[in-house]
Chains A and B, each alone.
Chain A
């Protein structure tokens, strides 16, 4: 049989380190291909501004903490908390300004890439703790080679960081139930999550639900009848007069104290007018405008949004093999849960592990599935569930591998192959099968780069099939990067270009990074431009027709396509 390694020892950490560092290297090598997304443009600008404040904090600390200075620097982008933007700012100062080791955009994106690496590392560790390093190994690879995760892992954004912090917080929580040290760490991690993105408010939902179900046997309903406690009521049904709960774990108490303090402490914007600004932050997200999303041919602008959206999008964007192994893992975990006498090769070190995994997998998706939740961000808004899809995939793979190896051992025994040799053979077979299973995900990820938001997988017929079905082709205007070589070569001197969905800050960064010719000018409108590009999304289609009208031609000069699906045409004005 396969040798199991239940505890995460140094070899496990070494393997996790090798895989995650390898992943970081891959991210760094491929970073330059990916265009600057709309949101990145806002964070680039905010990070520069916050960076100036940190310099002031070192040089003139007393002045820096005054309300005037705090407001001056931290007002920008105050609708989002500051943890990642602080890291972006510090990375920029260290790697770009001081050490001059990297370009500016790279330095701003580096913290996000490191957060992705940390997530890969801990998915490996957590997976390995569930019974075998094979689980950790495949789980981390399944996650690393989700095309859209690979894309987001490059960005100067919050989606991968909040997924990392969600994972770390809940993982730490799992260990915290009997440990003060882990309880404190959990509260710190949740504080950092709060300081990263709004999704963090839902982490306690997972924790509390898990804890209540875990301690369900300890919850007592008391019925006071004739002043006698615990006497059974004579009526068939009576409302309980008291509920005896299990003791509240220390972690929850610390999360109520440490996390909010950390949240406020790390966000200078909240140091003054705290209640008012906190209210403003929450209010912004509670009343967030509805943007639009194209889904199965219909463009949804307002609620009700389709309940099926996160589930269908998950099926359409995750490599099929990952999905199949994940579903296999889920089915077999359910099987072993309802058949406790069956011989389960996985011995979880955590109580009600399956419940914990299910909650983390489904709660982020269910939040988005609610018909009133804005769904403008494609798949990224339920990214915290992706590590759990990968872990179930790893579990599914392990069951599969275990079955194959157990059958092979019968053959080995029959042919008198010694145990040591049989183990080596088993390991080699495991590696070959791992390679076989992960290959489609690697190919999908490679094929999706740098257009992962335009990329769909086998169940939808890949990107051409998805385009025919009427799925969103892109958002954030990031594909402009792939048009720059054409522009640099073909645009007339001092050309004015309409960059459509690309923000000015992204355009500015292309110039700063030397990716766009210096003489190219920004045109805010189609009218007045020499060249106009259009990011093809259903709700922008009329803009392309406006471009025809302005340029006097319906013949694009060039079209950026992904798998033959047009995503970004550019038109040169010919109208005289």
Chain B
């Protein structure tokens, strides 16, 4: 055996002896990198001392859900299922130092205001850049809307039911007040819900159910004027399709109509949460009536979700979250 192979052999033999040491050390490194309850308690105190109403907390990685036992009290459900972080004044990024690559988020949310850290948890408080300030939120005024169905022959109005004890819609649990609609086969509810989009994220939005051959209309009157209507359309996580992607299903479409202009927006099966921007054509500062029409290919039922607001500030970037799926 040549001296090179002898050295190689020796290296292999030594490596085999070192591997168990490395594996054992790695296991204990992982173990010591996981925050304890006491550490989370410390983080809770830090947040309590510095938190302000209107702040958003994110815990990363997402699997560190245990943290919400301590930090959940600072957020409402709709904050956990937030629409767009730019709606908040400040973002608190709470992350496990050893398990989250912060470099990808370093400048994402804005300028850094504060930093805190414990042994295994780091906190960065950002002042959000490009903040979006809604003048009128459609989801907050949903009760005031008119909701009705359109099919081939007739239209039918949906009735608002406030203070529902609970209702089970076709696939969602609906507890907030919402509109009860009836088509030929089903009774279902159009209401603000926690929707699971196709990237598996929770979203607080108005659940759009489109049974076959049905178009859904949500109409608002006397909406305060702003330069833009912006918001999101979401594609529903479909548990029985491959990776949340069902190529057989057509896109969902939304047509926004005002007195003398309209805007068509589409979300496909490959998208999860997609922002739209509709520039209003009016040049007067009067209030406006606005109609959202949701539809899809007629012979396919669909599930989507939407939220929108009127604003004077144009978002610098339109967010489009892609679906998690396998081609």
**Which residues from chain A sit less than 8 Å from chain B, CB to CB?**
297-302, 319-321, 324-325, 328, 400, 403-404, 433, 436-437, 439-440, 443-444, 447, 457-458, 461-465, 467-468, 473, 526-527, 536, 538-539, 541-542, 545-546, 548-550, 552-559, 561, 563-566, 569, 575
B269 within 8 A of A: no
> Using Cβ atoms and an 8 Å threshold, which residues of chain A touch B30?
461-464, 563
Q: For A299, list chain B residues within 8 Å (CB).
A: 242-244, 324
For B166, list chain A residues within 8 Å (CB). 527, 550
From B24, B80, B96, B196, contact of A542 by CB (8 A): B196
CB proximity of A414 to chain B, nearest CB, Å: 18
Cα A320 to Cα B168 in complex, Å, equals 48
Chain A residues near B27: list those with CB within 8 A. Answer: 440, 443-444, 447, 458, 462
Q: Is B23 within 8 A of A549, CB to CB?
A: no
Cross-chain contact B65 with A559 (CB below 8 angstroms): yes
Nearest Cβ distance between residue B323 and chain A, in whole angstroms? 11
Partner of A298, one of B75, B240, B326: B326
Shortest CB-to-CB span from A431 to chain B, Å, is: 15
Minimum Cβ distance to chain B for residue A312 (Å): 15
Which residue from A325, A461, A541, A561 sits with its C-beta under 8 Å from B237?
A: A541
Residue B194 CB within 8 A of the other chain: yes
**Contact yes or no, A328 B16, CB < 8 A:** yes
Q: List 18 A-B contacts (CB under 8 A).
A: A301-B240, A302-B242, A320-B23, A403-B13, A436-B20, A440-B27, A447-B31, A539-B239, A541-B237, A546-B173, A546-B194, A549-B174, A554-B80, A556-B69, A564-B66, A564-B99, A565-B64, A575-B175
Chain B residues proximal to chain A, CB less than 8 Å:
9, 13, 16-17, 19-24, 26-27, 30-31, 33-35, 61, 63-66, 68-69, 72-73, 75-77, 80-81, 96, 98-99, 166, 168, 172-175, 193-196, 200, 202, 237, 239-244, 324-326
Q: Are B23 and A321 in contact (CB under 8 A)?
A: yes
**Contact present for A554 and B64 (CB under 8 Å):** no
> What is the CA–CA distance of A404 and B76 in the complex, to the nearest angstrom?
63
Please state if B24 and A548 are interface contacts (CB–CB under 8 Å).
no
The reply to whether A464 and B173 form a contact with Cβ atoms under 8 Å apart is no
Shortest C-beta distance, B216 to chain A (Å), equals 20
Please give me the residue from chain B that is nearest to A447 by CB atom.
Answer: B27
Whether the pair B65, A320 counts as a contact (CB closer than 8 A) is no
* Beta-carbon contact of A549 and B175 below 8 Å: yes
Which residues in B have their C-beta under 8 angstroms from that of A437? 20
Tell which of B27, B237, B244 has the most Cβ of chain A within 10 Å. Answer: B27
- Chain B residues within an 8 Å CB radius of A321: 19-20, 23
- The 4 A-B residue pairs with the shortest CB-CB distance in the complex, in nearest-first order: A555-B72, A566-B65, A564-B34, A542-B196
- Expressed in whole angstroms, the minimum distance between the Cβ of A319 and any Cβ of chain B is 7
Given A447-B31, A549-B193, 13 more A-B residue pairs with CB atoms under 8 Å apart are A319-B23, A320-B19, A444-B23, A462-B26, A464-B33, A545-B202, A549-B77, A549-B175, A552-B175, A555-B73, A556-B68, A563-B34, A566-B63
A444 to B27, CA, bound (A): 8
Task: Evaluate contact between A548 and B243: CB separation under 8 angstroms.
Answer: no
CB nearest neighbor in B for A328? B16
Known: A321-B20, A556-B72. A542 touches B239 (CB 8 A): yes
CB distance from A511 to the nearest CB of B (A): 27
Interface centre among A403, A473, A548, A557 (most CB of B within 10 A): A548
Q: In the complex, which residues of chain B have a beta carbon less than 8 angstroms from the beta carbon of A549?
A: 77, 172-175, 193-194
Residue of A nearest to B78 (CB): A554
- State how many angstroms separate the Cβ of A570 from the closest Cβ of chain B: 10
| Docked CA distance A463–B34 (Å) | 11
Which residues in B have their C-beta under 8 angstroms from that of A566? Answer: 63-66
Q: Which residues of B contact A552 (CB under 8 A)?
A: 77, 175
Output the least CB separation between B258 and chain A (Å): 32
CA–CA, A437 and B19, complex, Å: 8
Central interface residue in B73, B80, B96, by most chain A CB within 10 Å? B80
Q: In the bound complex, how far is the Cα of B187 from the Cα of A145, in angstroms?
A: 55
Given contacts A464-B63, A557-B69, A563-B34, contact A298 B324 (CB under 8 A): yes
Contact B65 A556 (CB under 8 A): yes
Q: A553 vs B176: C-alpha distance in the bound complex, in angstroms?
A: 13
Residues of A within 8 A of B81 (CB): 545, 548, 554
Chain A nearest Cβ from B40, distance in angstroms: 11
With contact pairs A538-B200, A557-B69, A564-B35 given, residues A548 and B194 touching in the complex (Cβ less than 8 Å): yes
Complexed CA–CA distance, A23 and B80 (Å): 46
In the complex, chain B residues whose CB is within 8 Å of the CB of A559: 65-66, 68-69
A404 to B66, CA, bound (A): 47
- CA A297 to CA B16, docked complex, whole Å: 32
| Distance (whole angstroms) from the CB of A295 to the closest CB of chain B | 9
Given contacts A301-B240, A404-B13, contact A468 B24 (CB under 8 A): no
- Closest beta carbon of chain B to A573's beta carbon, Å: 10
A328 to B77, CA, bound (A): 53
- B91 CB to closest chain A CB, in angstroms? 17
List of A residues within 8 angstroms of B243 by Cβ: 298-301
Q: How far is the CB of A535 from chain B (nearest CB, A)?
A: 13
Q: Which residues of B contact A558 (CB under 8 A)?
A: 69
Q: Given A548-B194, A556-B69 in contact, is the A467-B63 Cβ separation under 8 Å?
A: yes
Q: Contact: A541 with B63, CB < 8 Å?
A: no
Q: Are A553 and B72 in contact (CB under 8 A)?
A: yes
CB distance from B196 to the nearest CB of A (A): 4
Contacts of A300 in B (CB 8 A): 242-243, 326
CB atoms of A464 and B24 under 8 A apart = no
Nearest CB of chain B from residue A301's CB, rounded to whole Å: 5
- The CA of A463 and the CA of B61, in the complex, are separated in Å by 13
Q: Which residues of A contact B174 (CB under 8 A)?
A: 549
Name the A residues within 8 Å of B202 (CB-CB). 545, 548, 554
A539–B244 Cα distance when bound, in Å, is 9
Q: In whole angstroms, what is the CA distance A159 to B63 when docked? A: 29
Alpha-carbon separation in the docked complex, A403 to B240 (Å): 55
Chain B residue nearest to A568 (CB atoms) is: B65
**A458–B63 CB distance below 8 A:** no
**Chain A contacts for B33, CB-based, 8 A:** 464, 564
- Give the distance in Å from the alpha carbon of A47 to the alpha carbon of B20 in the complex: 42
**In the complex with contacts A320-B23, A550-B166, A556-B65, A400-B13 CB distance below 8 A:** yes
- Kindly list chain A residues whose C-beta atoms are within 8 Å of the C-beta of B34: 464, 563-564
In the complex with contacts A320-B19, A539-B239, A564-B96, A545-B65 CB distance below 8 A: no
> Considering only CB atoms, which chain B residue lies closest to A438 in the complex?
B20
B123 CB to closest chain A CB, in angstroms? 17
Residue numbers in A under 8 Å from B66 (CB-CB): 559, 561, 564, 566
B63 touches A554 (CB 8 A): no
**Do A325 and B16 form a contact, CB below 8 Å, given A563-B30, A566-B64?**
yes
Chain B: minimal CB distance from A38 (Å): 18
Q: How far is the CA of A284 from the CA of B29 in the complex (A)?
A: 46
Q: With the chains together, A494 CA to B324 CA distance in Å?
A: 41
Instruction: Enumerate chain A residues within 8 angstroms of B196, measured Cβ to Cβ.
Output: 541-542, 545
B158 → chain A, closest Cβ, in Å?
A: 20
Set of chain B residues within 8 Å of A447, measured between Cβ atoms:
27, 31
Known: A298-B324, A527-B166, A566-B64. A436 touches B200 (CB 8 A): no
Distance (whole angstroms) from the CB of A249 to the closest CB of chain B: 39
Q: Are B324 and A555 in contact (CB under 8 A)?
A: no
Selected from A468, A541, A557, the residue in CB contact (under 8 A) with B61 is: A468
Cβ–Cβ < 8 Å partners of A569 in chain B: 65, 68
Minimum CB–CB distance from A344 to chain B (whole Å) comes to 15
